[in-house]
Chains A and B, each alone.
Chain A
């Protein structure tokens, strides 16, 4: 066997969306009601996918390309400012 064997290793560099566009998995999307938000940033702290950041207007902004819609942010929000909304609606 003189071809050389391609060793395909299951190794990847950390990168944004290493597992693909996981937003496609979502059934419900979190929507922020800025009237109720007190900017405590618990949603940012708890988000397991690191898709919440500070938007231009100073409120939490969700990256829907990668948000899987797990609902943890809505669950931890102390003022119920985040609602989970069915994707088709």
Chain B
């Protein structure tokens, strides 16, 4: 056990491209969009230099990119693409087709704010707004985790009990364009961990013609949706199993559906996702230095949503501080909303302070997370937690309006 690969100092996008190469994907339909573009550029260079054997299809839009990936996966091969922001939204219709057709396509989504106004920086609204498409979604916090998670998620997605597509979501620029040391596993080890894709549920074959996505009326449709939902919930167990198997083989563990940091004895738990979670680890240490028993629960898998982990870790705590980098207008942060649903019907469910911040790439440092934790804990302790969610790091002149009594929820 232990890393036997080679070390390289690379960007998150480079790590995603190397993961696609190591996964031996056979088809990559590609359309560029900032901050994703270098992923498909790296893959193009791998194919050009003979390091990777795959069909590279230059399509005319993201909608077509996903349509081509569906065709490839339906023909029985592993497919990969990457996108961000507006590109992901243009794909939206076809995302539903990929999932409903039960095709385990892999995609790197480099999280970027949605326009208008144009903004190329990190924000989770692009992917989180696609939460109901039937795609598995995992959010990561380091370049190593980008590479490892793409390999792990192919294994989860292709499991005969799952057969759903997945997106690995990495924060725009914070990971996509930042260099970090990454261990690149050996190709033969990856091949042992992740064998060739060989679908048994269905496949396009000219010698045995079928149609897919045909008409299903009220008598049939609902069970197909139920089957997708059951597979999603099954994937929750498999994410744990596959993460453990990956650890046994490669010696690295990034958590399963969640990652826990110093939660055992915590009175208060911070919950967040993506690179805000790595900042939050530092914040937890700071708060503990000040004598507050605070821990971190990082959400890796947003779909399937780990309701059970939430309940197990958060029940009976004094309070929870959930930090979202996305806004569900007038409703709150997507994580905050889901976590309330995990806890509401249980006894001992703690108060939840939900913060929306960091939109359009506004920096969220560990100091900001310390400030949000203190604000949330203060509200909980002094019974001032009156709103379903709070905005954090608004400019002062707008914060005055936001916090005035006239602004209702």
Contacts and interface: CB of A to CB of B under 8 A. Distances in A.
A14 interface: yes
B211 A14 contact: yes
Contact of B234 (A5, A8, A18, A19): A5
A63 to B, nearest CB: 19
Interface string B20-34: 000000000000000
B231 A18 contact: no
Interface in B203-223: 209-217, 223
Counting chain A CB atoms within 10 Å of each CB, the highest count among B201, B211, B213 belongs to: B211
A52 B17 CA distance: 53
A1 B163 contact: no
A6 interface: yes
Given A1-B233, A1-B234, A4-B161, A9 B202 contact: yes
A26 to B, nearest CB: 17
Contacts of B211: 11-14, 18
Given A1-B237, A20-B217, A9 B230 contact: no
Secondary structure type dominating chain A contacts: loop
Measured as residues with beta carbon below 8 angstroms from the partner, the interface class of chain A is: 10 to 19
Nearest to B210: A11
Contact of A5 (B213, B214, B223, B231): B231
Nearest to A18: B214
Contacts of A13: 209-211
Contacts of B224: 8, 10
Secondary structure type dominating chain B contacts: loop
Contacts of A8: 223-224, 227
B202 A11 contact: yes
B137 to A, nearest CB: 19
B212 A11 contact: yes
A7 B100 contact: no
Interface in B126-173: 160-163
Contacts of B161: 1, 4-5, 7
Contacts of A1: 161, 233-234, 237
B102 interface: yes
Interface string A73-89: 00000000000000000
A25 to B, nearest CB: 12
Given A19-B215, A20-B217, A10 B227 contact: no
Nearest to B217: A20
A13 B201 CA distance: 14
A69 to B, nearest CB: 18
B214 A10 contact: yes
B342 interface: no
A14 B102 CA distance: 20
B101 interface: yes
Given A1-B234, A1-B237, A11-B202, A6 B212 contact: no
A7 B201 contact: yes
A12 to B, nearest CB: 5
A37 B160 CA distance: 56
Nearest to B74: A11
B100 to A, nearest CB: 6
28 contacts: A1-B233, A1-B237, A4-B161, A5-B162, A5-B227, A5-B230, A5-B231, A7-B102, A7-B160, A7-B227, A8-B223, A8-B227, A9-B101, A9-B102, A9-B201, A9-B202, A10-B100, A10-B101, A10-B213, A10-B214, A10-B224, A11-B202, A11-B210, A11-B212, A13-B209, A14-B211, A19-B215, A20-B217
Interface of A: 1, 4-14, 18-20
Top-7 shortest CB links A-B? A8-B227, A5-B161, A11-B202, A11-B212, A19-B215, A8-B224, A12-B214
